[in-house]
Chains A and B, each alone.
Chain A
Amino acid sequence: EADIYQTPRYLVIGTGKKITLECSQTMGHDKMYWYQQDPGMELHLIHYSYGVNSTEKGDLSSESTVSRIRTEHFPLTLESARPSHTSQYLCASSADGTGGTEAFFGQGTRLTVV
């Protein structure tokens, strides 16, 4: 069982609300990622971080923002949620960013914006 946790597991909110998806890991990993995945589809990298105070945008443009104030915590925020943000959001971490070690994933947050 990976030591990476996402909350909430499911979230249904109204359009225009501000939300924060939480992700925490206890493995001391420097590298953390956020992926977006529609049902039955591929994963798209939307944000990543090399360590504290480091955040970068991924391949898929996203209106969300992230922060990395502590090594173990990598929250994702949507300032004003829209129905187009409905998706599953997966957080992951790895010991290094070169692809030489496995990534550990959280269980995901399934977001529905109505």
Chain B
Amino acid sequence: SQQGEEDPQALSIQEGENATMNCSYKTSINNLQWYRQNSGRGLVHLILIRSNEREKHSGRLRVTLDTSKKSSSLLITASRAADTASYFCATDGTGANNLFFGTGTRLTVIP
């Protein structure tokens, strides 16, 4: 399977702290994306990083990609209670024509 795995499965932090989530995948990819899912809702796209990029920023989000280790990390700085959600990485896989999602990290930010 090309599906990735997020680590940790669950993370609980205080408001204002930084949250780091990791994603590992199995096959070569063209792109990697991160999504957020509030409880019981659909997913919302956060950021896309291409295989030839190593780091990307968007507001309080910072994503890194290490294709040699087949891994990516998502850093949320200065977390807020509203950041509480599940976060998923998604990969396409070279030659594939779909998005494959990881197992997700459930982030809880305590006010």
Contacts and interface: CB of A to CB of B under 8 A. Distances in A.
B109 to A, nearest CB: 17
B38 to A, nearest CB: 10
A74 interface: no
Interface residues of A, number: 30
Interface residues of B, number: 31
B42 A105 contact: yes
Interface in A64-114: 88, 90, 92, 94, 97-108, 110
B54 to A, nearest CB: 18
A29 to B, nearest CB: 13
A92 B35 CA distance: 13
Interface of B: 1, 3, 29-31, 33, 35, 40-45, 48, 50, 86, 88, 90-93, 96-104, 106
Contacts of A94: 99
Interface string A32-60: 01010000111101001010000000110
